[in-house]
Amino acid sequence: MNPSFNLLETLNLVLWLLPLPFLGLALSGRGRSWWPGWVQVGSLTLLVVLEVASQVGPVTGSFSWISDRERLWNFLGGAALQVAIAEGSAWIGWQRDRVLVSRLRRVLAAGFLPMGILAAVFWKGSVHLSWILPWGALLCFEILAVATAPVVWVRALRALSAICLGVSLCSKEAWLPFSALAALLTASQALSKIRHDNGRRVQRARAALQPKAIQELLASTTGPRLAKDEDSLPLDRLDALLTFAMQSTGTSGGAIFLYREELVPEIGTLSRKLLCPLAKGTLKDATNDPGASLAAQVLLSFVPGADQARDIGPDGLTQTYALNALHAPRLAVAPIRSGGKPMGIVVLSPSDERDRFQPGDLHVLDFLAQQAVFSLHYEAVYHRLQEDSRMSREFEIASRIQRSLLPRSMPAVANLSVSARVLPAREVGGDYYDLLPLPDERLVAVIGDVSGKGLPAGMIMLIVRTTLHLLIDADPEANPSKLVQILEERLVPQLDAFTFMTFLALQWSGRDRMLTWSGAGHEHILWRSSQDGVIHRIRTGGLALGLQRENFSPREDRKLPLSPGDLVVLYTDGVTDCRDSTGTAWGLDHLVESVELHHDQPVESLVESILADLDRFRGQEPPTDDRTLVVFQSS
Amino acid sequence: MNHALDLKVLPVAGRADTRILKLAGEFDASAVERALEEVTALLDAGVRHLVVDCEELRYVNSTGLGVILHFSRVARERGGSFLLCKVSEPVYEIIEIIGATTLLELHDTVEEAIQSLS
């Protein structure tokens, strides 16, 4: 024997053994069901390539061991048939999930089929009926299964094919390891697929019974909260559920027991802590009541013995048990649990004709228990869902209204360019800015911030806007101090005890480039003078609206003459108080720096650049307050 | 990063109607409910004067300030007082911007605040 012979035989063996780890994975349920088949295809392809190379390759001499043509055709034909079976039987699976891998597998499988036919045509050796017949039968079975049969049939046939494969190939010595491996692989595929499908069916049924949104809501509730009095329990719905479960499982008795809210069940003392609405009254009554459900009586009969109830742990029942697990004959028990806490149990007892619960019955019981949780939460969940959707709808409307009330375009006033942006932290914000053009090249600009956020703050903002517009309509000549004063008188009675609003009213007079303002506790005015190139922080003064509830002190006007090129930036504290992930606020210094950095841009892009700087600082941290910027440039 | 407001109530020797309220952390919307509960309970229990130690109060936003101003108003209406002591620079800044320096009684130390009561 030359050394290359040994090498190739070893290689052959390795390739055959390659799928074994995957087989283990599939059997343990951890692997994906298509792995064994996939690896099988890969190793077979390599084998075929090796064999073909040995025939036509440049180093034919060293592959002389393979000159046994019979063995080659055996090999090719067997490989083709084997893969055709494995792949053909997985055909249904491919049709369901059409990923690239499945397509590749299909191409490979299709490639092996012609090879199998070729092998048959060029067959020169003796025909071994003992293995050709079972192979052919298997192929027919598989094609039949793929074409017509329901899923259960496919599985049965695949299991059968695995067995046949193993038996048939035993007759030819050289094929022994190959056939045994194939049998194992096919069997593992079938097994893991059955397991997988079962799990999926249960999940699908669960998802159908409890939509995801409701499951999330249930998970977010703080825990089981049962009504204290029985009248408010959804008895009708629980009754209907139980009836459904009894009909589906063909049982004659059943009961739902609910733990009282204040009590936690303990081993052996279950009975005293049960409420049994369906058995009319408490469990104690149920024993004396001949009309009470059989299940209740059976349950009672074993509860006093701590030994028999030992499967019920300190957290209550955690699994669905069939009869013998609880050592109580003819009883299936399922826990009703929500958020990991026990709420009660569901019990079914089969009718006399039936001895055993089927696994399917336990699934039904499981669903029943889940549905019971849902029913118990239903009212609360339903109301919350309704409330949430109503609120979000109303929020959306409020948000739209608020956005529509902001100035749509920047007004054109002599010697001034304006740009502004407001970014609410929530749908509805408490920040407010407005720009109202007046006759004689004048403009009123206001900015304000209601303490607090969300809808209440947004309502205040609406009041302020309406009041302001009415005031200016009535008296276009009103100076800022008068606006603030009247606004304070009108607004303060509307504010609750904790709410106030910072406010700043400015009037721009385009003809003489004069800025007049009156403040009510608002942030600074940033003024970048084109003369000295310095950004001045001007205190706006005044008390915020709402700090004084009566005897309002008079407001005053201040003036600032602007030169062409001067920049004025107004902001709310949402800009300077904006935090990064470490909790550090952006701060006025950063805002001033940012203004200085971008001051030569036109006002529109200046606003965007400052907000971009702020966003960069903030990173992934969500904003906690509305951010507003208003920028003027005198020209 | 803990943003929560820490709130402690300490007695004052010799003054049954006075309590020291020690605030630490950040006073924003998330702390409002608790602060309201605690202070309202104190005022309802007959405490007239509250001396608020703000030394460790890092930050107050407008919502928190609204509540502080409310306490100050309520205490005064009931014939008592709500005194802020050792207010830090950033907190003072916010009080100053909204113009509330004249509405709140500010003191440098807790002792000074307690003395001002008698």
| Tens-place pLDDT, residues A463-474 | 888 788 878 888
Q: Which of A432, A451, A524, A570 is the best mutation test for B, with the most CBs of B within 10 A?
A: A451
The predicted pLDDT at position A163 comes to 57
Q: Pick the residue with more confidence: A303 or B70? A: B70
Whether B116 maps to a domain, the answer reads no
> What angle do the packed helices A176-209 and A3-17 form, to 10 degrees?
20
CA atoms within 13 A on the CB side of B57: 27
- Express each pLDDT in A373-399 by its tens digit: 766 665 555 556 666 666 677 677 777
Give the pLDDT band of residue B16 (cuts 50, 70, 90): confident
- CATH code of residue B75: 3.30.750.24
Asked whether residue B36 carries a pLDDT value surpassing 70, the answer given is: yes
Helix, strand, coil shares, percent, chain B, to 5: 40, 35, 25
The predicted pLDDT at position A311 comes to 36
Q: Which of A349, A351, A342 is nearest to A369 (CA)?
A: A342
Q: How many domains does chain B have?
A: 1
> What angle do the packed helices A151-169 and A176-209 form, to 10 degrees?
170
Q: Chain-wide mean pLDDT for chain A?
A: 66
Q: Nearest C-alpha of chain B: how many angstroms from A624?
A: 10
A486-497 average pLDDT score: 85
Asked whether residue A120 carries a pLDDT value surpassing 60, the answer given is: no
Give the pLDDT band of residue A60 (cuts 50, 70, 90): very low
Q: From CA A316, how far away is CA A429, in angstroms rounded?
A: 47
Asked if B40 and B6 touch (Cβ cutoff 8 Å), the reply is no
A116-140 average pLDDT score: 56
Whether B42 maps to a domain, the answer reads yes
Q: Quick check: A541 contacting B, CB < 8 Å?
A: yes
Closest by Cβ to B98, choosing from A452, A453, A502:
A502
Inter-chain residue contact B73 with A549, CB threshold 8 Å: yes
- Express each pLDDT in A301-358 by its tens digit: 444 332 333 333 334 444 444 433 333 345 667 767 666 666 666 766 655 555 556 6
Asked if B21 and B71 touch (Cβ cutoff 8 Å), the reply is no
The predicted pLDDT at position A119 comes to 57
Chain B residues with CB under 8 Å of A542 CB are 99
Q: What is the ipTM of this complex?
A: 0.83
Which of A80-94, A141-155, A157-171, A434-448 has maximum average pLDDT?
A434-448
Phi, psi (deg, nearest 5) at residue A166: -60, -50
The predicted pLDDT at position A612 comes to 94
Task: Return the minimum-mean-pLDDT range out of A289-293, A355-359, A461-465.
Answer: A289-293
Q: Quick check: B98 contacting A, CB < 8 Å?
A: yes
Give the pLDDT band of residue A290 (cuts 50, 70, 90): very low
Q: Quick check: B100 contacting A, CB < 8 Å?
A: yes
Inter-chain residue contact A549 with B100, CB threshold 8 Å: no
Q: Which of B2, B43, B62 is the best mutation test for A, with the most CBs of A within 10 A?
A: B62
Q: From CA A376, how far away is CA A482, in angstroms rounded?
A: 60
Whether B106 maps to a domain, the answer reads yes
A111-136 average pLDDT score: 56
Phi, psi (deg, nearest 5) at residue B9: -110, 125
Inter-chain residue contact A585 with B59, CB threshold 8 Å: yes
The predicted pLDDT at position A446 comes to 95
Rg for chain A, CA atoms, rounded: 40
Q: From CA A343, how far away is CA A256, in angstroms rounded?
A: 10
Asked whether residue B94 carries a pLDDT value surpassing 70, the answer given is: yes
The predicted pLDDT at position A174 comes to 41
A197-232 core/surface letters (b: 16 or more CB in 10 A; e: else): eeeeeeeeeeeeebeeebbebbeeeeebebeeeeee
Whether B51 maps to a domain, the answer reads yes
Tokens of A443: 């403009």
- Judge residue A274's burial from the number of C-beta atoms within 10 Å of its C-beta, 0-12 exposed, 13-18 middle, 19 or more buried: buried
User: Which residues does B47 contact at the CB level (< 8 Å), separation at least 6?
Assistant: B17, B18, B19, B80
Q: What percent of chain A stands above pLDDT 70? A: 38
- Express each pLDDT in A239-283 by its tens digit: 666 666 666 666 666 666 665 443 333 222 222 223 333 232 333
Give the pLDDT band of residue A88 (cuts 50, 70, 90): low
Count CB-CB contacts under 10 A for residue B48.
Answer: 18
CA A415 to chain centre: 54
**For chain A, what are the domain ranges?**
3-206, 223-381, 407-634
- Whose tokens are 């046949």? That residue is A164
- Express each pLDDT in A588-629 by its tens digit: 999 999 999 999 999 999 999 999 999 999 988 888 888 999
Nearest CA in chain A to B96: A521
Chain A residues with CB under 8 Å of B61 CB are 451, 573, 577, 625
Task: Return the minimum-mean-pLDDT range out of A172-176, A324-328, B1-5.
Answer: A324-328
A426-440 average pLDDT score: 83
Alpha helices in A432-541, H assignment, sequence order: 454-474, 480-491
Q: What percent of chain A stands above pLDDT 90? A: 20
Q: Pick the residue with more confidence: A298 or A158? A: A158
Q: Pick the residue with more confidence: B96 or A383? A: B96
Give the pLDDT band of residue A561 (cuts 50, 70, 90): very high
Q: Quick check: A537 contacting B, CB < 8 Å?
A: no
Q: From CA A379, how far away is CA A616, in angstroms rounded?
A: 45
Phi, psi (deg, nearest 5) at residue A607: -60, -45
What would be the CATH architecture of the domain defined by A407-634?
4-Layer Sandwich (3.60)
Q: Quick check: B67 contacting A, CB < 8 Å?
A: yes
Q: Which of A488, A538, A547 is the best mutation test for B, with the most CBs of B within 10 A?
A: A547
| Contact residues, A window 295-334, toward B, CB-based 8 Å cutoff | none
Chain B residues with CB under 8 Å of A554 CB are none
User: Which residues does A445 contact at the CB level (< 8 Å), separation at least 6?
Assistant: A418, A433, A434, A435, A436, A505, A506, A507, A508, A570, A630, A632
Q: Quick check: A523 contacting B, CB < 8 Å?
A: yes
Asked whether residue A408 carries a pLDDT value surpassing 80, the answer given is: no
User: What DSSP element (H or E) covers A601?
Assistant: none
Asked whether residue A42 carries a pLDDT value surpassing 50, the answer given is: yes
Closest by Cβ to B97, choosing from A453, A498, A521:
A521
In the three-class reduction of DSSP (H, G, I as helix; E, B as strand; rest coil), residue A224 is classed as coil
Instruction: Quote the domain boundaries for residue B49.
Output: 5-110
Closest by Cβ to A449, choosing from B29, B62, B103:
B62
Q: Chain-wide mean pLDDT for chain B?
A: 87
- Express each pLDDT in A227-250 by its tens digit: 344 445 566 666 666 666 666 666
Task: Return the minimum-mean-pLDDT range out of A163-172, A512-521, A573-582, B61-70.
Answer: A163-172
Q: Quick check: B1 contacting A, CB < 8 Å?
A: yes
Asked if A563 and A532 touch (Cβ cutoff 8 Å), the reply is no
Inter-chain residue contact A520 with B3, CB threshold 8 Å: no
The predicted pLDDT at position A160 comes to 59
Q: Quick check: A549 contacting B, CB < 8 Å?
A: yes
Nearest CA in chain B to A448: B98
Closest by Cβ to A582, choosing from B1, B62, B69:
B1
Helices then strands, counting H and E runs in chain B, come out as 4, 5
Q: From CA A177, how far away is CA A182, in angstroms rounded?
A: 9
A413-418 average pLDDT score: 91
Phi, psi (deg, nearest 5) at residue A88: -60, -40
The predicted pLDDT at position B34 comes to 85
Asked if A471 and A449 touch (Cβ cutoff 8 Å), the reply is no
Asked whether residue A93 carries a pLDDT value surpassing 50, the answer given is: no
Domain A223-381 matches domain A407-634 at the CATH topology level: no
User: What DSSP element (H or E) covers B27?
Assistant: strand B15-27
Inter-chain residue contact B97 with A548, CB threshold 8 Å: no
Q: Quick check: A42 contacting B, CB < 8 Å?
A: no
Rg for chain B, CA atoms, rounded: 13
A627-634 average pLDDT score: 94
Chain B residues with CB under 8 Å of A520 CB are 99
B39-43 average pLDDT score: 89
Q: Quick check: B63 contacting A, CB < 8 Å?
A: yes
Q: Any idea which fold A223-381 has?
A: Beta-Lactamase (3.30.450)
Q: Quick check: B59 contacting A, CB < 8 Å?
A: yes
